[in-house]
Structure 1
Amino acid sequence: MGHDNHTPHNTTPEPDLRSSPHSLLATKFLPPVSTHEIIARPRLLALLNAGLHRRLMLISAAAGFGKTTLLASWVRTFPPDHPPVAWVSLDAGDNAPLQFWAYVLTALEQCRPGLSPLPVASLSEIPQPSWQAVLATLINNLARQSEPLVLVLDNYEEITEPAIHALLSSLLEHLPPTLCVVLATRTDPPFSLARLRAQAQIQELRAEQLRATSEEMTAFFWSVMDLRLAEQDIQAVDARLQGWWAGMQLAALTLKEKAHPNDLLQALQGKPRALFEYLVQEVLKRQPEQVQTFLLRTSILSRLHNSLCNAVLEQQDSQLFLEEIERANLFLSPLDEQRQWYAYHPLWSSVLRAQLERTSPSEVPGLHLRASQWYAAQQMHGEAIQHALQAHEWSWAALLMEQIPRQDLWSRLEYALLPSWMEQLPREVLRERPRLCLASAQSLFWIAAPDVTESWVRDARRAWTRAHLWEEQTPMTRDAHGPEAPLHLLGEIAALQATIAGFYHGDAGATRAFCQEALTHLEEQQWAARVQMAFAQARANVSQGYVERGALQLQAEWSRIKAKGDQTLESIYWREAVWESTMAGKLHQAWQLSQQAIHALQTLEGPLPTQVCWPYTYQARILHEWNRLEEAQHLAEQAIELGEQTELLAFLPLAYTLLLRITLSQRRLEEARKASRQMEYAWRNSPSPYRAAIWSSVDQMRFWLAGGDLEQARRWAREVKLRDPLDSPLARERQDVAFAHLLLAESQADQALNLLIPLVERATVTQRWNHVLEMWLLQIQAYHMLQRQREALSLLAQAVHLGASEGYIRHFVDGGAAIAGLLSQLREQEHQKEDLPYLETLLRAFKQQPVAQPTHLESEPSSRPPQQLLDPLSAREQEVLRLLARGASNQDIAEALVVAISTVKHHISNILSKLEATNRTQAVARARALGLLSSDHLD
């Protein structure tokens, strides 16, 4: 099959892997080479050429309909002035966003240097890339192109990861006319194509177009297979095969062996089982015995190479077999011009594997193991691990995973699948490997609930203890594939436990104890763990309110971080420094530090990693304080979008708290209610009483009071008093400040003062001027309630003087009318001349306050008419959505609905596409905004 046989001119660039990561296979960038004459198919050529003016060409049909052959022959016959083609042959190993987009961006870059948003090597250095930002920059770069370009993604049915589907759908929605995406797939992609169809931006070729015509079948049998069949036989084959190209090739192979046409036609008309039996009996078993053995045993390989086949079959003549099988047209295609790598047709490969499993099941593990060992020797660790898992050689697979250097865990593309590999290990095997348990905990720290991370790190310590005891008791008999327990690994475990204790619990005592243990065991070259430990110690000081000590602890590590050039640690350093400067009341310094943080996270090409959401949020906090509310909201929403893209659970509660604060200042109470619900949902996904206290307790209280919900505020106060006090003095202080707000709302000014006075004294001693100013203003309101005007004005004068140099505004304005009246009185006093310009600024801000929007806080989102989706959710998708909103995992959903996990993933992909979301968190948030979920779905 194919196009007219004019002189081919291949416009697909040859891949240059010298500039690409070694884990990218050159053969995946090349259209497969045809092993026989190409049948002219001008009608399909016209359809493909017509589709170049649309965003998407979808070539969708079952296996064997010639999708890849058609596209390969199409691009190889392009004239010199035709748009270049970026080709990617996908496989199951590309189901991680990092791996998938690395191939796509590399293919595009090879066609148009400078088009990729950033070098693939830079992409691999970002622990959690902001794919939406990467795609936005790619789209902008494409929009600046004057010449068109074609991107072919072959075998797209191999992709099952919902995040990839969602991102590709987003790319297609915003694609400029300079790029046409071609998807060749056995099944339709699991995202909605309704919008593209409505916009006439999709060209679809399906089985009815791809089927061979009678003329094409005749040409194939005569010209390609050298079979002079009678016309009635061709018509009979056509009636049975309905233009199925793979079936035609099977027919030709068997008919050349003098099989009776009626036997073939009967098998092809039957069920898949009959076809399977026919392929085995009439194709496989007609081959010489040695060829059969070669075919069956090499069917475990997704790609075949002479050396690899020799290793798997334990022989030295595999090249001869490969050449013989290719000459015999036994569904073997070369993957490169040099014919070093080959692949079987997927249908043929599946038949061979099934036959191998049926006839020689005991051989299969050994074949996979030898393949794994060959790949390991070639330093192709990803393939080595995958075959080790298929061999069920769990210890060998675990050892290969453990051999990944710590610094490479999140920087090399081939390791993007590490979490999914670890999931395939039996639980009891994984729990015995301290290094893998630690790797799980490290990978989950920012994106999973704290108890999940803590469970893994506890398992790491227990596994280390068992392995260490075994090494001590039997030093001469250790299994070569068994777990290792060096002391420096215990140091890494303790450093992570210190981080968890400091970040999630604010437990200074536990943090320092773990740090001391880590110091005992860490080696000097383990500098990253040592820096991690320093961060934990700084957080311990902050949790006790000693901000200045925490800042000094960080500064002591800066030179080492800078010297190593570790982008991740740099981003954490800046984040912590900004936070501490903000608490110290140094807003201008915090702004400068956040600017440096953003700059440190930028690449030369422009896109930002998701971690930039932290400095964005801190800048939005400062903008809010400076009364630049619209700018603050815009930046906060940007930060939330970035955090949601990778479900950064550790970050989202902070961002939604800030959004709540901004909407309260804007007096948009309906939006504040939404932000409050989003914040509560985020805390349920990532529960941390310590961080909830220091981040959200005061703003949550202000929201309840703004809506007149005193009962909810009192209920929270009672619950806090009944629970054990938090370890962190800072967290307890923030809860007390929230109590003070409630006491003032209940006109209990004396009690509020009694509560605030010791808090102010402690915050003053520790120089947390942001908190001092906040609590002074609450004291001023209490004095005003008690008609102690002289004390109120005196303290207000101090507050004005403190706030003037840093430009504080919202602290004052959010204090309400009482503060405004007192500021007016203060302006008239002679001794305030120095701060008069600042006083005028504050009073103008009060006059610019927006009018509060009417709202009914008790109403639920579902009480409003839901907005209409272009492609509505099915009943089953609505069930899945409700379970997602409750935080259910894929396994939970599968069990609840009694379906396979693959079916759950399919439904989730559809939900993400229809809601135009890139992850579960964003989908649930948008569903609530659309009125698709009511409150009971979130409990």
Structure 2
Amino acid sequence: MAPSLLRTKFHKPILGDRILLRPRLMQRLDDALAAKVTLVTAPAGYGKSTVVGSWIDALARSASTAQPVRHVAWLSLDEEDNHFPRFLLYLMAAINTCCPHCCQDVSQLVQERTDATIEMLTTVIINGLAQQEIPLVLVLDDLHRVNDAAIFAFLARLVEYAPPQLHLVLISRVDPPLPISRWRAGGFLSELRLHDLGFSRGETAEFLRGHLDQEPPATLIDTLHRRTEGWVVGNWLALLALRGRTDYAEFALHFEANAGRYAADYLVDEVLSAQPPDVQRFLVSTAILNRFCTELSAAVLQIDSDQAQAQIAYLARVNLFLIELSTPAFWYRYHHQFQDMLLSRLQMRYGQAAIAVMHRRAAAWLAAHKLIGEALFHLAAIPDHDAVADLIEQQRVNTLNELAFWELETWLNQVPQPLLNQRAHLLVGMAWVKHDRVDNEACRVLLDRARTLLEQESASLSDMDRQVLTAELSALELSTEAAMHPETSLALIRQSWALLRRNLAHAHCSVVLSLAYASQQLGELGFALEIVRATLAEAPAWPLVAQCRIAHAAGFFYFCSGNSAEAVQQFQQNLVLAKQHNLAVIGIISRHGLGAVADVHNRLEEAEEHHLHVVNRPYLTSGRDAVVDMYGLIGLYARRGEPEKSRPLVEQLKEEAQLMGKSFFLEQVTALQAYVDLTCGDVKRALGWALGTMHHDMETTADRIPAIRTRILLADGSDACLALADQSVQRLIKFYTGSHVWYRQVEALILLALVREKQADPEAATAHLAEAVELAVPKGGVGLFTGYGAIMLHILRRLRQQPASSKLAALVLTVLDADEEIRPQNTRTPSLPEPLTERELEVLELLAGRYTNKEIA
């Protein structure tokens, strides 16, 4: 779920009806649409945003005539956006204002997948934009306010591969660190710079004539143009200073006489001195605010709202550089150059203590209205680091419950390290950030510091704080310490849950999920379900994304316990919520769960639908779920006699894996390619991969390499390959038994039975398959026995002769017979592999003897 976004950042400055029309610049911007990028750069006050805003208005007016229709997305950047995840979140929200269904996955990726690469993110965005029928003009205003290298790496790649539907407009005071020379040489770039934006003498004269009551004398025009050098804000300041005067020549004379002073200083002083004292106070006091409304400005100045609204109305009426940020008017800001000038006057008129009070008042109002980032900005400006730490402590749990790890990290980075080391809440918050990134080493260091601090400060903490922090530390320890004894782990889980349950309203979903999944991994499924069911019942005020995560865990635990009906209900409810609230990750993991249930129960069409959704969006779960779902699709298409349908899907996954740069994903996709080769009859090619892949320790049930390798070795059927298959399947048995995921245990038992059958040990094969049948069939898992061909039928028919398993075996045989009936008659039979050479047989024997590659060489 997205954190609160400032919607005013998506509005271009609202222009008055008295701005100077500049046809030459409008034509330049029209012509620039033929390029990929328009770069508008000049120092502050040259009207960059105004010119682009005027052009956007002109585009809208001409859309119904000669010009084609174009969407326009506007994003005004500030210093808080100098963090790539936040920048991208705002960028997607800006695009969403005019293209609501474009790139909808990216926001979820930014918030929930901290491992998402720039290459992957830009690819998702570019593909989304390429599907838009209406061209998009994307404007990034005040780009100079950010300097995060990741932002500019993203923009460079976006421009390089941008579809023709996208035109990017960059507005900045300085040239951004982008490949401008290459863009220029490649014809990608159009530019407006200082010499283009400054007023010519003719435009200066036209500007004055349009706003003064009398014809401006030539001396005034010449003096103003010479002194301001076409500076647009300088002309506006001069115009404001001329208000109420009738002797324009005298003003020009005084302006010329003060040539030694910076023109802006002279003009600002002239403008301010002409304002009533209360207006002057309002201007310089509200200059600390990057945006303000009536209530916020009233809080800073300690005046009532009516007075504040009257001051704002006056500033708007006299055009004192006030820019409306919303329609109807609610939020405002000053022109950035004018704000800088006002801030210098603030420093002259008030002491640091008085300014600090203003910042503190602003922070209090903003925090009360859940604008935490802006509140922290004002506390840091004082600076009051203790207050910054206090506010982050208050917001830590809410932020973690929104899964906004990147936002919490941004806040925590504002706290000096010595102070961070003195705050247990903040240390634990940073530990969760590191845990989310799977940086276990950094997480453990933070845990040690927090635990020591908690022991030292225990007496000063409330019971609730102490209990929640203790439970969080235990949950993190369980997640990062693999060597803990099971009995110790279970005791720690139960102790932590007892502390947490009475304080669920003050906890977050990550700690609950850590305890629940740790319970499941110890085989305590009943206790895991107790944790998540109690949380769903007792924490209804949690954010929707947190509740969905807990509900998904409940679905998984129900499935692991054999209660598929309850599992499907949880997954289906989450899928409905995901569609209603655009929770892309929740939607994909829900479909992953539903696809797994459909596979187990042999519901092929339903399984295919869910698997395809997951496979087509692998980036939402770092590729892990997509690997499992693709494995299911390969088997499904093979059963239908359409094995080649899998190949383009796996090739697509390979491209995604390369973009994501995840070694696990890349290795799994290579295995999936070999599995496709096997189902398409190319056993030798598949065997080449299997023999080149050594044993490795499994860490997750998403690892499909051992199962695929075993299937391929079984297909070869030589003694050496069967010996290797035996080793591989024994590892599967050990891992899946410890994972307490019954349907994976069944899969391993089936593969073991097949190995024994091919090793001419029918008694052992029948016994292992009986164990699989007894585990799976009472849970409805008949689909797990499909796709293995005649060898499975042979063992099952033998099993049917045994009284203890005859009924269960008969049920499975009924399903397999039906499965054979729907298989197309032209199903391709895998060709036999070419005979191995003596050298290859020798290598196989050595592999079966568990020699290493080096020893074999």
TM-score range (shorter-chain normalised) is 0.5 to 0.7
Q: CA 1:510 to 1:638, structure 2 compared with 1: closer, same or farther past 3 Å? A: farther
Question: Counterpart of 1:219?
Answer: 206
One-letter amino acid of the structure 1 residue matched with residue 618 of structure 2: I
Cα distance, 1:44 vs structure 2: 4.0
Contact 1:633 1:659 in 2 (8 A): yes
- Paired residue for 1:31, among 3, 13, 17? 13
Cα distance, 1:505 vs structure 2: 3.7
Cα distance, 1:599 vs structure 2: 1.5
Question: Counterpart of 1:935?
Answer: none
Check if 1:567 corresponds to 2:548. no
Cα distance, 1:136 vs structure 2: 10
Contact 1:657 1:676 in 2 (8 A): no
Mapping of residues 344-493 of structure 1, within 5 Å: 344-350=334-340, 353=343, 365=356, 368-373=359-364, 375-376=366-367, 380-404=371-395, 406-407=397-398, 417-443=407-433, 445-469=435-459, 471=460, 485-493=462-470
Q: CA 1:793 to 1:777, structure 2 compared with 1: closer, same or farther past 3 Å? A: same
Higher relative contact order (CA 8 A, sep 6+): 1
Unpaired runs of at least 5, structure 2: 243-249, 802-808, 835-857
Question: Counterpart of 1:614?
Answer: 589
**SS, match of residue 49 in structure 2:** helix
Question: Counterpart of 1:256?
Answer: 251
Q: CA 1:533 to 1:155, structure 2 compared with 1: closer, same or farther past 3 Å? A: closer
Partners of 1:549 and 1:569 in 2: CA distance: 21
Mapping of residues 117-132 of structure 1, within 5 Å: 128=112
Partners of 1:405 and 1:463 in 2: CA distance: 18
One-letter amino acid of the structure 2 residue matched with residue 610 of structure 1: V
Cα distance, 1:764 vs structure 2: 12
Contact 2:286 2:297 in 1 (8 A): yes
Partners of 2:493 and 2:401 in 1: CA distance: 24
Question: Counterpart of 1:599?
Answer: 575
Partners of 1:392 and 1:348 in 2: CA distance: 24
One-letter amino acid of the structure 2 residue matched with residue 838 of structure 1: L
Partners of 1:852 and 1:173 in 2: CA distance: 45
Describe the superposition over 1:228-251 as per-residue Cα deviations: whole angstroms up to 9, x where unpaired. 776588568757866442344467
Contact 1:547 1:583 in 2 (8 A): no
Describe the superposition over 1:136-162 as per-residue Cα deviations: whole angstroms up to 9, x where unpaired. 99979986x9xx998866445445665
Question: Counterpart of 1:771?
Answer: 745
Partners of 2:504 and 2:692 in 1: CA distance: 52
Unpaired runs of at least 5, structure 1: 1-19, 268-276, 472-483, 645-651, 686-691, 721-725, 814-818, 855-939
Describe the superposition over 1:23-56 as per-residue Cα deviations: whole angstroms up to 9, x where unpaired. 746697473454x943233444556678899998
The answer to which of 804-813 and 620-629 deviates more is 620-629
Check if 1:41 corresponds to 2:22. yes
Question: Counterpart of 2:781?
Answer: 806
Cα distance, 1:781 vs structure 2: 1.3
**SS, match of residue 290 in structure 2:** coil
Cα distance, 1:770 vs structure 2: 3.4
Give identity over the alignment, percent: 21
**SS, match of residue 21 in structure 2:** coil
Question: Counterpart of 1:245?
Answer: 232
- Paired residue for 1:518, among 496, 499, 504? 496
Contact 2:592 2:611 in 1 (8 A): no
Describe the superposition over 1:392-413 as per-residue Cα deviations: whole angstroms up to 9, x where unpaired. 2011112222233834665599
One-letter amino acid of the structure 2 residue matched with residue 465 of structure 1: E
Name the TM-score, length of structure 2 as normaliser: 0.65
Check if 1:784 corresponds to 2:758. yes
Partners of 1:419 and 1:760 in 2: CA distance: 39
Describe the superposition over 1:312-346 as per-residue Cα deviations: whole angstroms up to 9, x where unpaired. 67899999998998899775556679998654432
Mapping of residues 361-760 of structure 1, within 5 Å: 365=356, 368-373=359-364, 375-376=366-367, 380-404=371-395, 406-407=397-398, 417-443=407-433, 445-469=435-459, 471=460, 485-495=462-472, 497-498=474-475, 501=478, 505=482, 507=484, 508-522=486-500, 524=502, 526-527=504-505, 529=507, 535-536=513-514, 538-544=516-522, 546=523, 549=526, 552-553=529-530, 556-557=533-534, 560=537, 567-577=544-554, 579-580=556-557, 592=568, 595-596=571-572, 598-604=574-580, 607-618=582-593, 634-644=612-622, 652=623, 655=626, 682=662, 706-707=687-688, 713=694, 716=696, 749=723, 752=726, 756=730
**SS, match of residue 233 in structure 2:** helix
Contact 2:409 2:430 in 1 (8 A): yes
**SS, match of residue 404 in structure 1:** helix
Cα distance, 1:420 vs structure 2: 1.4
One-letter amino acid of the structure 2 residue matched with residue 219 of structure 1: E
Q: CA 1:634 to 1:241, structure 2 compared with 1: closer, same or farther past 3 Å? A: farther
Contact 1:636 1:655 in 2 (8 A): yes
Contact 1:117 1:137 in 2 (8 A): no
Partners of 1:568 and 1:384 in 2: CA distance: 25
Question: Counterpart of 2:289?
Answer: 301
Partners of 1:850 and 1:601 in 2: CA distance: 44
Partners of 1:616 and 1:22 in 2: CA distance: 28
Mapping of residues 171-182 of structure 1, within 5 Å: none
Name the TM-score, length of structure 1 as normaliser: 0.60
Describe the superposition over 1:187-210 as per-residue Cα deviations: whole angstroms up to 9, x where unpaired. 577788999999999986555553
Q: CA 1:457 to 1:602, structure 2 compared with 1: closer, same or farther past 3 Å? A: same
**SS, match of residue 838 in structure 1:** helix
Q: CA 1:23 to 1:294, structure 2 compared with 1: closer, same or farther past 3 Å? A: same
Cα distance, 1:391 vs structure 2: 1.5
Contact 2:765 2:795 in 1 (8 A): no
Question: Counterpart of 1:92?
Answer: 79
Contact 1:156 1:183 in 2 (8 A): yes
Partners of 1:633 and 1:426 in 2: CA distance: 47
Cα distance, 1:461 vs structure 2: 3.5
Contact 1:499 1:532 in 2 (8 A): no
**SS, match of residue 616 in structure 2:** helix
Partners of 1:555 and 1:425 in 2: CA distance: 34
Contact 1:85 1:152 in 2 (8 A): yes
Cα distance, 1:540 vs structure 2: 3.5
Question: Counterpart of 2:48?
Answer: 67
Aligned-residue CA RMSD (Å): 6.7
Partners of 1:86 and 1:251 in 2: CA distance: 33
Q: CA 1:94 to 1:293, structure 2 compared with 1: closer, same or farther past 3 Å? A: same
Contact 1:613 1:642 in 2 (8 A): yes
